Amino acid sequence: MSQASVTSPGEKLRRMLAGPDLAMVPGCHDALGARLIESAGFEAVYISGFSYAASLGKPDVGIVTMSEVIVQGQRIAEAVTVPVITDADTGYGGPVNIWETVRGLERAGLGGLHLEDQRMPKKCGAMAGKELASEDEMTARLQVACRARLSPDFLIIGRTDAVTILGVEEAARRCRVMEAAGADAVMVPSLSTPAELETIARSVSIPVIYVAAETIRPMYSAQQLKAFGFAMALYPLSLIQVSVAAQTKLLAALHETGTTEAIIPEMTKFSEIGEIVGNGEAARIEQLFAKAR
């Protein structure tokens, strides 16, 4: 196959955004989670900033660094064949930091990232105490990001946290500002009512991404979100919330009973995990090497 015929991760994401169905993209924080997402049939993977920070035992308040995100992004991108989008917070600093963030993530094999309009240090969108950056600063962040990418296919998504601070109309206006700055798509967390969804989905001419966090009610189906006009939905917290619940349940049972016996029927088999992480492929490689000796 010639190099020209290879579809880049960014191009795959753009095709998903332009497709007839809602693109559903679950979030994870590591390569195992990414493998599970791909194995379940999803066509893309999202790296959740909250989940990655939590996996380090840290809150999502701007502690995670650019280097950590690039390294983890590369691990995840190498583990799957589907494209990967990551949370890149505010770009980890000024214009030079944003430039290096985009270059680093693109070279790491990811297909896109999103930058948000919070002031630094940022906070998780579900947390109180967030402060918004000026429109000029957000415009500059996106313009730098668009100039920094090596391929025009690499997806630059603008994110605004204005809904919980200034309201949905201001969030819609900021979406238009981000579109004018060159964003390929926009995303707005904390939407709940049908009126809010309609306002945001119709605010711009570029694709709009819905943040389907279980912290917000109600939860809308893929069909409903597509009908509102959304092109993609990210599920940033689903895997980590169910994972923490399952681990907490097992640990409580072990602590109380002195055995994990009651939880064994709920466990994934060891052999199944081995297949997910590539035990079979490793065995085939060893067999080939043994024959060559």
What DSSP assignment string belongs to 251-272? Answer: HHHHHHHS--GGGGGGSPPHHH
Q: What is the pLDDT of residue 169?
A: 97
Q: What is the pLDDT of residue 1?
A: 44
- What is the Rg, in whole angstroms, of the alpha carbon atoms belonging to the chain? 20
- The verdict on pTM exceeding 0.85 is yes
Closest CA to 141 of 116, 173, 111: 116
Q: What is the pLDDT of residue 206?
A: 98
| CA-based max dimension of the chain | 69
Q: What is the pLDDT of residue 5?
A: 64
Alpha helices in the chain (DSSP H): 9-18, 31-39, 49-55, 66-79, 95-107, 135-148, 163-166, 168-181, 194-201, 222-228, 238-257, 270-277, 279-292
Can you list the domains of the chain with their CATH numbers? 9-244 (3.20.20.60)
Q: Which amino acid is at 79?
A: A
Q: Which amino acid is at 292?
A: A
Q: What is the pLDDT of residue 12?
A: 98
Tens of pLDDT along 27-50?
999 999 999 999 999 999 999 999
Q: What is the pLDDT of residue 273?
A: 94
Q: What is the pLDDT of residue 164?
A: 92
Q: What is the sign of the dihedral through the CA atoms of 249, 250, 254 and 257?
A: positive
Cβ–Cβ < 8 Å for 213, 191? no
Q: What is the pLDDT of residue 30?
A: 98
156 beta partners: 113
Closest CA to 171 of 155, 187, 195, 192: 187
Regions of the chain short of the pLDDT cut 70: 1-5, 123, 125, 127, 292-293
Q: What is the pLDDT of residue 122?
A: 74
Alpha helices in 112-162 (DSSP H): 135-148
Q: What is the pLDDT of residue 127?
A: 64
Q: What is the pLDDT of residue 288?
A: 86
